[in-house]
Amino acid sequence: MPRTRGRAPAGGRADALSREVVVGAAVELLDEHGERGLTFRLLAERLSTGPGALYWHVANKDELVALAADHVLGHALAEVPPPTDDAVAGLRTLAVTVFDALDRHAWAASRVTAPATLANALRLFDRIGSLVARTGLPAERHFEVSTAISYYITGVSAQIIAPGLTVSPATSREDFLARTADRWEALDPADYPFLTRTTANLRDHDDRDQFTTGLDLLLTGLNATTEPGRPA
Amino acid sequence: MPRTRGRAPAGGRADALSREVVVGAAVELLDEHGERGLTFRLLAERLSTGPGALYWHVANKDELVALAADHVLGHALAEVPPPTDDAVAGLRTLAVTVFDALDRHAWAASRVTAPATLANALRLFDRIGSLVARTGLPAERHFEVSTAISYYITGVSAQIIAPGLTVSPATSREDFLARTADRWEALDPADYPFLTRTTANLRDHDDRDQFTTGLDLLLTGLNATTEPGRPA
DNA sequence: ACCTGAACACCGTTCAAGT
DNA sequence: ACCTGAACACCGTTCAAGT
C-alpha cells in the first residue's frame, strides 16, 4: 500500500518528490532502457536524490513498474474515441487503441494484468464490460465474455509486442522476425511441413494486422452467438 | 548458440553434466521456487558443481529459462491425443492440453513465445498450422489464422496462469482472486458500473473455463468464416 | 513527513587455472 | 572438451541519521 503523500513538503526540497513524479520518471527510463535498464540508482540520479528516497513513494521495483504500466494504460484510455451505437465496433476500437499504446512502450505490455488491480486496468475492464453489456448477449454471459476479451487484449498484445520479454530494446522487431524466418527456412520440411511453407508470411506480416485478425475472429464469434438477440 | 556436447566426458566426472541435465534440474528448481528463486549458485549446488560449469552448457539465465519452458512444452505436446477428422476440434484439444501443462508450471507460461524459435514451440506452431490447413479455410489465410490461434494460446495462458508474472508461487491463485474481488467490491459503482456488478463472478470463476470461453469464441469465429467452404 | 547515502545481502557472469 | 571456484560488477532493499 502507498505511503501517504501530502501537499508541498514542510521542510523539504523545492522540486518535491511524489509518487507521480517518481512513476513519470520511471516511464521515461523504461522507454529508454527497458525493464532491466531501470535501476533505482539510475532513477534516483535522474531525480537528484538517493535510492532510499524512492522507497518512500513506492514499495519496490515490481510496484514501480506496475504503476508505470498502468500510467501508460491511462494515456491509452484517454485516447479512446467516444463509443458509437455499435457496441462490437466500440470493443474493437478500444482494443486497438490499447494495443497501439502498448506498442509504443513495449516493457508495459507484459505488465498490464488482466484480473485488474490498478486504477486504469480497472477502468479498462469496466469499459469492456459496459460495451459487452450493450451487445445483446444474455446477462449471465457478460462476465466471461468480458474477461475473454480482456485476456485477449492484454495477453496477445504482450506476445506480439514483447515476445519472450527478454529481447532488449536494442534488437528491432524486424531483425527478430527476419532471424526467426531464417531459422524456419533451415528446417526440414518433413518435420515441419507447415512452417517451412509459410516463412515468407512471417517475414512481411504486420504486427497490428496480426492483433486484429484474432480480435475479429473473436468478435465474429461473439456476433454469431448474439445473432438471435436484439441488435444494439 | 549451444556449445557442442560430446559423449561421455573424456577425463571428467562420472555423472557428466549436459545441457539436458542442466535444463532438467532447472525445471525442478523453477517449479519449486519460481523464476526469481532459480539461481546459478543454487542450481550448481544441486548438481554438485560450480556456477561457472553451467555456462558451458547454456549461454545465460534467459536461455536457461527459455529452454526449461520449451522442455515443459515438449511434455505437453507428447500428451496431445491424436487428431480426429474434425480439425477445429483438434485445435481445441491441442490448445487445452498446452494450457493444462503450463498451468502446472506457472513460470513457463510467460516464456513460451509465439514467433517460435525453440524446438517444441516450432512443433506447436506447425501442428496448429497443419490443423488450420485442414479446416477448409483458403490457403492465403492459413498463416494469419494460425498465428492468431498461436498467440491466443500462449498469450492468454500466460495472463491467466501468471498474471503480473510477479506473484510468488507462495500466493495461491484463489487468494489472489479473492483479494482482487475484495478490492472491486470497495469501488464506487458510479465510477465502475460494470465491475461492481460482477464481483461474485470473479470470486468463483474457473480459470480453465475462462481459457476455453475465449478459445471457443475464436473457433466459432473461424467456423463462421469457413462455413461456405468444404467441411473437413 | 520526507530525504540521504552508506551498508547488507545478494545476483549473473567471467575467467584463469585445472583435468 | 569440460569443470572449478574465486572474483568482478553490479543489483534491490534497508535503515540509522538527518531536516
pLDDT digits (tens, 9 = 90+) for A37-51: 999 999 999 999 999
Please state the rounded mean pLDDT for residues A54-68.
97
Q: Which DSSP string corresponds to chain A? A: -PPP--SS-SSS-SS---HHHHHHHHHHHHHHHHHHH--HHHHHHHTTS-HHHHTTT-SSHHHHHHHHHHHHHHHHHHHSPPP-S-HHHHHHHHHHHHHHHHHTSHHHHTTS-SS--SHHHHHHHHHHHHHHHTTT--GGGHHHHHHHHHHIIIIIHHHHHSGGGTS-TTS-HHHHHHHHHHHHHTS-TTT-TTGGG-HHHHHH--HHHHHHHHHHHHHHHHHHHHTTS---
Nearest CB to A126; choose among B147, B155, B195:
B195
Q: Å between A15 CA and C5 C1'?
A: 19
Q: Where is pLDDT greater, at B205 or A146?
A: A146
CATH label of the domain that carries residue B192: 1.10.357.10
Give the closest residue to A126 by CA, choosing from B199, B43, B116, B206: B199
Instruction: Return the residue of B nearest to A128 by Cα.
Output: B194
Q: How wide is the angle at C-alpha B29 spanned by C-alphas B12 and B121, nearest 5°?
A: 90
From residue A75, give the alpha-carbon distance in Å to each of A69, A121, A204: 10, 12, 30
Are B51 and B92 members of one domain? no
Phi and psi, residue B65, nearest 5°: -65, -40
A108 falls within a domain: yes
Q: Where is pLDDT greater, at A190 or B228?
A: A190
Are B159 and A209 an interchain contact pair (Cβ–Cβ within 8 Å)?
Answer: no
Give the closest residue to A198 by CA, choosing from B115, B56, B20: B115
What range defines the domain where residue A42 resides? 1-59
Please state the rounded mean pLDDT for residues B41-53.
97
B220 falls within a domain: yes
Are B201 and B93 members of one domain? yes
Instruction: Return the residue of A nearest to B110 by Cα.
Output: A164
Q: Strand D-proximal residues, CB under 7 Å?
A: A 11, 38-42, 51-52, 55, 60-62; B 3-6, 9-13, 16-17, 48-53, 55-57
Q: B190 in helix, strand or coil?
A: coil
Neighbours of A165 (CB within 10 A): 22
B75 Cβ contact list (under 8 Å, min separation 6): B101
pLDDT value of position B115: 79
Are A41 and A81 members of one domain? no
Check whether B84 has a pLDDT greater than 50.
yes
Nearest CB to A148; choose among B117, B158, B214:
B214
Range name among A101-105, A165-169, B3-7, B210-214 with the lowest pLDDT average: B3-7
Please state the rounded mean pLDDT for residues B148-172.
82
Nearest CB to B193; choose among A115, A126, A156:
A126
pLDDT value of position B229: 45
Are A20 and A128 members of one domain? no
A112 falls within a domain: yes
Are A52 and A79 members of one domain? no
DSSP B40: H
Model confidence, pTM: 0.91
pLDDT value of position A34: 94
* DSSP H/E element including B7: none
Are A153 and A90 members of one domain? yes
Are A196 and A135 members of one domain? yes
B221 burial via Cβ count (<10 Å: 0-12, 13-18, 19+): buried
Are B94 and B8 members of one domain? no
Instruction: Return the residue of B nearest to A120 by Cα.
Output: B192
Q: Of the candidates A35, A59, A83, which is a domain's last residue?
A: A59
Check whether A1 has a pLDDT greater than 50.
no
pLDDT value of position B49: 96
Q: Which residue has the cell 498461436?
A: B150
Q: How wide is the angle at C-alpha B108 spanned by C-alphas B104 and B113, nearest 5°?
A: 135
Which residue gives the smallest C-alpha to C1' distance to D4?
Answer: B50
pLDDT value of position A116: 85
From residue B74, give the alpha-carbon distance in Å to each of A16, B35, B104, B121: 53, 19, 14, 8
Q: Where is pLDDT greater, at A129 or A205?
A: A129
Are A106 and A197 members of one domain? yes
In this complex, the answer to whether residue A212 has its CB under 7 A from any atom of chain C, a nucleic strand, is no
Are A188 and A140 members of one domain? yes
Cβ-Cβ contacts under 8 Å, A115 against chain B: 163, 176-177, 180, 202
Q: Where is pLDDT greater, at A36 or B163?
A: A36
pLDDT tens-digit map of B98-115: 999 999 999 999 999 877
Are A36 and A132 members of one domain? no
Nucleotides of strand D within 7 Å of the protein's CB atoms? 1-7, 10-16, 19
Asked if A99 and A211 count as a contact pair (C-beta separation under 8 A), the reply is yes
Q: Which three cell numbers mark A181?
A: 524466418
Q: Å between B159 CA and D19 C1'?
A: 45
Asked if B87 and B128 count as a contact pair (C-beta separation under 8 A), the reply is no
Please state the rounded mean pLDDT for residues A188-211.
92
B173 burial via Cβ count (<10 Å: 0-12, 13-18, 19+): middle
Are A113 and B209 an interchain contact pair (Cβ–Cβ within 8 Å)?
Answer: no
Check whether A229 has a pLDDT greater than 70.
no
A65 falls within a domain: no
Q: Of the candidates B20, B36, B59, which is a domain's last residue?
A: B59
Q: Of the candidates A33, A59, A85, which is a domain's last residue?
A: A59
Please state the rounded mean pLDDT for residues A50-59.
97
Asked if B75 and B104 count as a contact pair (C-beta separation under 8 A), the reply is no
Nearest CB to A159; choose among B125, B151, B221:
B151
Spatial distance between the Cα atoms of B124 and B154, rounded to a whole number of angstroms: 10
Interface probe, candidates A151, A196, A210, chain B, greatest B C-beta count within 10 A: A151
Cβ-Cβ contacts under 8 Å, A158 against chain B: 155, 158-159
pLDDT value of position A170: 60
The number of distinct structural domains making up chain A is 2
A67 falls within a domain: no
Check whether A142 has a pLDDT greater than 90.
yes
A47 falls within a domain: yes
What is the percent of chain A where pLDDT is above 70? 88
Q: How confident is the model at residue B227 (pLDDT cuts 50, 70, 90)?
A: low
A64: nt with nearest C1' to CA: D12
> What length does chain A have?
232
Q: How confident is the model at residue A227 (pLDDT cuts 50, 70, 90)?
A: low
Asked if B88 and B219 count as a contact pair (C-beta separation under 8 A), the reply is yes
Q: Where is pLDDT greater, at B6 or A172?
A: A172
Asked if A101 and A76 count as a contact pair (C-beta separation under 8 A), the reply is yes
Please state the rounded mean pLDDT for residues B118-128.
96
B68 falls within a domain: no
B139 falls within a domain: yes
Are A55 and A81 members of one domain? no
CATH label of the domain that carries residue B27: 1.10.10.60
